[in-house]
Amino acid sequence: MRMMIRLIPTLLVGLVCCGVALAGSWETGGFRTANGKLIQRGMTKTEVRRDAGTPLDGKKSATAKSEKSSSGKASSKGKRGDVWTYKGNDGHYAITFHGDKVAKIEVTPFRDH
């Protein structure tokens, strides 16, 4: 019985670690550039370009769907916007702008490219 009690936490930690290792991409609130500047949601395009430089890729997103969050506020999820890609320590960062502001930052690890 004691062996089972000790084994359960070990198995749970193992499952959590496997889930993180197998994740394809994830959303983050911000990231640091090579020169140490913080890029985060809410920044303008001008601020991002100033702090992170020229993106590797810039394109228009084709999605046009808006949703409401649980708080009742309009969510930027699904709206049309520009997407700029930067290379970082963890992988490639896809920054989605809605209007002039960063709405979403998604990380795709290098192993998935």
Q: Indicate the pTM of the whole model.
A: 0.62
**Residue positions counted in the chain:** 113
Helix (H) or strand (E) holding 48: helix 45-52
Q: Where are the domains of the chain?
A: 25-112
What confidence score (pLDDT) does residue 66 get? 42
CA distances from 111 to 16, 58, 86 (A): 19, 22, 16
CA 97 to chain centre: 13
Residues 94-103: tens digit of each pLDDT: 999 999 999 9
Cβ 44 vs Cβ 101: under 8 Å: yes
Over the stretch 35-91, which tens digit does the pLDDT of each residue have? Answer: 999 999 999 999 999 999 999 987 765 553 444 455 555 454 555 689 999 998 889
